[in-house]
A and B are shown apart, each in its own frame.
Chain A
Amino acid sequence: MNNLLDVNDLEIVFSRRGRKDVRAVDKVSFSVAPGETVGLVGESGCGKSVTSLAIMGLLPKRGVRLGGSIAFEGTELIGLPQDKLRRMRGRDLAMVFQDPMTSLNPVVPIGTQVTEVLVRHRDMGADAARKEAADLLARVGIPDPSRRLKEYPHQLSGGMRQRALIAMALAAKPRLLIADEPTTALDVTIQAQILELLKELVRESGTALIMITHDLGVVAGMCDTVHVMYSGRIVERAQRHELFAHPRHPYTGGLLASIPRLDQPRGERLEPIQGSPRDMLAWSQGCAFAPRCRNRVDECVGEAPVLAPARPDHEVRCYNPLGGSDDR
């Protein structure tokens, strides 16, 4: 197999003594090819962030059970000893987190937080690392990088901090970058800049990217393949254009319908998905989305649907998918 990352039947169960087990991720499988940009889309709590933490090996050991397999270039990551994982993290796979305000160490200069990656993974001396760090900051669009290196996080704006975090993640030239809602905490005007930057950087360096987001708008601009998750399972997957042109799962349809569009006819209302992610069924009792679904049929409660091809290269987990060719 020449995939960069193969996630197979990944299961993540949180179990705490005295409480019921919570199955956060349930038999999720997907792959990422080298240089590919993959979107993992869903509401908060659907398991997308937990999946990314599992790939990074950042889930706590206590109270978490992992099942299935996560293979990076053929190396199985689940059960890999911590010291081996530590050598891969930051070097082979890296991550950018949601909130740049809290993701940087407030008492360590930005420069050190960049150079520590270079010293660790690229065997650089202090001087070489500093020079490289300045180059990195310049590449992510931070003006006056050599001055910024000496500054502390609180002296930088949110957008600048996220740029610095991206610089850290890309410092060791990883082959896979995971970005977990990298723009959610930022001002709208900054969001587009950061997305553009990410897009450019992964294209230049040939880094594969897993984009984790609740916002299909983000996916539309950059992802090759999109996986839509709901309640710990993938409910639909397809190439970006295919998915936007022919969404089959009612949940995907709902997500698309709730994006405001400029070309929308005046007076037409946005259609929100009813209810909240809390109104859901356990997959063992049927389709988790059924309580909120407009297309619900009798079969939806009972046995859960399976992920099955609906069109060429397009899979959906639904008994009553949205209509034929161009329904919207």
Chain B
Amino acid sequence: MLRFIVRRLLVLVPVLLGLSIALFAWVRALPGSPAQALLGERATQAQIEMINRQMGLDQPLYEQYLRFLGKVVRLDFGTSVQTSQPVIDEMIRRFPATFELGVTALLIAVVVGVPLGYFAARRNGTWLDSATITGSLIGITIPVFFLAYMLKYVFAVKLGWFPNTGRQEARMLDVEHPTGFYVLDGLVTGNMAAFWDAILHLVLPAIALATIPLAIIARITRAAVLDVLNEDYVRTAESKGLTSGVVTRRHVLRNALLPVTTVIGLQFGLLMSGAILTETVFAFPGVGKFVADAIPTRDYPSLQGFILVIATLFVLINLVVDVAYGLIDPRVRVR
């Protein structure tokens, strides 16, 4: 198992190195000089010269790259054009909001998607099955931002059930945030009003963000359960007269959920793309909103930093998923 993890980690090295080269090249390929790209349009001539010297643009390219790599390894991604703060600080400050949103969305997707897919497969050919297939196809084709607006219009603007924007009501500004995860903060500080407020703010964006992963998870689960139900070992289990609960849990789900695990890991990228759009619609102050704001302000250092961090997280998450897969599937474990 350890060998397996080490081998997988080694594969990551060229991918991440390649990515850093690509992003290094990206900044140089941006319109205008790198200094301008990093400083934005408001840069003065003096600033540009200073940056050029600082960045050692007079030195050979590989040395420039090594310098860049050295900084990146130390998590130094430069200064944000939007806020003039170090990019890494901006990221750390906004990360909890996006993490909270993403985890909630993934939770919704799994908790609704897996049972939906399971029952659709069990009642294969009935209205529930057709509704699940149709619903998941529509779920995949609705643009996240359109769905977000519709949710906002119906449930926030018209019905007023949920807040319109943000993570927190203005009147809660003085609430303490020891962790930065507002739901958790409410619990930790025992402030139930703040806890409830944080949850209300999460509901609509999380549903919007959950739609596509939910549709995908429901479909994969349905297909996997259909496959497993036709397996000989399920018939063997039935022939042993086991209760339907044992057959379902031990023999159907334990096998059918293996492919679902892998797919859940792959949702990270979708969630990040979706967070950029959802957070924009709900003015949710997370990483995604920051990326969206980086476009009109040409905040390239932020974009560069975000892409690197998010891609690294993505490959690490998939490594974790692979290892988890190995732990549940004995056939992989031995190899």
A and B touch in the complex (CB under 8 A): yes
Measured CB to CB, the residues of A under 8 A from B are: 56, 58, 82, 85-91, 94-95, 97, 99, 102-109, 112, 116-117, 120-121, 152, 154-155, 165, 168-169
- By size class, the interface of chain B is 20 to 34
From 132 to 159 in chain B, residues with beta carbon under 8 angstroms from any chain A beta carbon are none
Residue of A nearest to B233 (CB): A105
Partner of A104, one of B236, B241, B329, B334: B236
Interface string of B310-335 (1 = CB under 8 A from A): 00000000000000000011110010
Taking the closest CB of chain A, its distance from the CB of B21, in whole angstroms, is 41
Residue of A nearest to B246 (CB): A116
| Interface check B250, CB cutoff 8 A | yes
For residue A87, which residues in chain B have a CB less than 8 angstroms away from its CB? 241
State whether A95 touches B239 (Cβ < 8 A).
Answer: yes
The verdict on A152 contacting B240 (CB below 8 Å), with A107-B255, A116-B250 known, is: no
Most chain-A Cβ atoms within 10 A of its Cβ — which of B231, B232, B255? B232
Residue of B nearest to A151 (CB): B330
- The answer for the CA separation of A99 and B233 in the assembled complex, in Å, is 10
Partner of B241, one of A86, A97, A99: A86
For residue B238, which residues in chain A have a CB less than 8 angstroms away from its CB? 58, 89
Residue of A nearest to B255 (CB): A107
| Interface check B258, CB cutoff 8 A | yes
How many residue pairs link A and B with beta carbons under 8 A? The number is: 86
Most chain-A Cβ atoms within 10 A of its Cβ — which of B242, B243, B244, B246? B242
For residue A105, which residues in chain B have a CB less than 8 angstroms away from its CB? 233, 236-237, 250-251, 254-255
Residue of B nearest to A57 (CB): B238
Partner of B240, one of A82, A89, A155: A89
Would you mind naming 19 contact pairs between A and B with Cβ atoms under 8 Å apart?
A: A58-B238, A85-B241, A86-B242, A88-B241, A89-B241, A90-B240, A94-B239, A105-B250, A107-B328, A107-B329, A108-B251, A108-B254, A120-B242, A120-B246, A121-B241, A152-B331, A154-B331, A165-B236, A169-B240
State whether B242 touches A116 (Cβ < 8 A).
Answer: yes
| Interface check B235, CB cutoff 8 A | yes
For residue A95, which residues in chain B have a CB less than 8 angstroms away from its CB? 239
The verdict on A90 contacting B251 (CB below 8 Å), with A103-B236, A152-B331 known, is: no
- The answer for the CA separation of A58 and B241 in the assembled complex, in Å, is 10
For residue B244, which residues in chain A have a CB less than 8 angstroms away from its CB? 82, 86
Measured CB to CB, the residues of B under 8 A from A are: 231-233, 235-244, 246, 250-251, 254-255, 258, 328-331, 334
Residue of B nearest to A100 (CB): B232
Residue of B nearest to A94 (CB): B239
The verdict on A102 contacting B231 (CB below 8 Å), with A107-B328, A155-B334 known, is: yes
Most chain-B Cβ atoms within 10 A of its Cβ — which of A56, A58, A102, A103? A103
State whether A97 touches B232 (Cβ < 8 A).
Answer: yes
Taking the closest CB of chain A, its distance from the CB of B119, in whole angstroms, is 16
For residue B254, which residues in chain A have a CB less than 8 angstroms away from its CB? 105, 107-108
Residue of B nearest to A112 (CB): B250
State whether A103 touches B232 (Cβ < 8 A).
Answer: yes
- The answer for the CA separation of A328 and B243 in the assembled complex, in Å, is 52
For residue B251, which residues in chain A have a CB less than 8 angstroms away from its CB? 105, 108
- The answer for the CA separation of A91 and B239 in the assembled complex, in Å, is 10
For residue B329, which residues in chain A have a CB less than 8 angstroms away from its CB? 106-107
- The answer for the CA separation of A33 and B281 in the assembled complex, in Å, is 75
- The answer for the CA separation of A152 and B254 in the assembled complex, in Å, is 14
- The answer for the CA separation of A322 and B190 in the assembled complex, in Å, is 92
Residue of B nearest to A88 (CB): B241
For residue B330, which residues in chain A have a CB less than 8 angstroms away from its CB? 106-107, 109, 152, 154
State whether B241 touches A120 (Cβ < 8 A).
Answer: yes
Residue of A nearest to B229 (CB): A60
State whether B240 touches A99 (Cβ < 8 A).
Answer: no
State whether A90 touches B241 (Cβ < 8 A).
Answer: yes
Taking the closest CB of chain B, its distance from the CB of A255, in whole angstroms, is 27
Taking the closest CB of chain B, its distance from the CB of A197, in whole angstroms, is 18
- The answer for the CA separation of A89 and B241 in the assembled complex, in Å, is 4
- The answer for the CA separation of A109 and B250 in the assembled complex, in Å, is 11
Partner of B233, one of A89, A90, A104, A155: A104
Residue of A nearest to B254 (CB): A107
For residue A86, which residues in chain B have a CB less than 8 angstroms away from its CB? 241-244
- The answer for the CA separation of A94 and B240 in the assembled complex, in Å, is 7
Taking the closest CB of chain B, its distance from the CB of A52, in whole angstroms, is 10
State whether B243 touches A58 (Cβ < 8 A).
Answer: no
For residue B246, which residues in chain A have a CB less than 8 angstroms away from its CB? 116, 120
State whether A108 touches B236 (Cβ < 8 A).
Answer: no
For residue A155, which residues in chain B have a CB less than 8 angstroms away from its CB? 334
Residue of A nearest to B126 (CB): A62
Most chain-A Cβ atoms within 10 A of its Cβ — which of B240, B246, B254, B328? B240
State whether A97 touches B235 (Cβ < 8 A).
Answer: yes
- The answer for the CA separation of A245 and B331 in the assembled complex, in Å, is 50
- The answer for the CA separation of A112 and B251 in the assembled complex, in Å, is 11
Residue of A nearest to B238 (CB): A58
For residue A94, which residues in chain B have a CB less than 8 angstroms away from its CB? 239-240
- The answer for the CA separation of A108 and B239 in the assembled complex, in Å, is 17
Taking the closest CB of chain B, its distance from the CB of A91, in whole angstroms, is 6
For residue B334, which residues in chain A have a CB less than 8 angstroms away from its CB? 154-155
Residue of A nearest to B258 (CB): A107
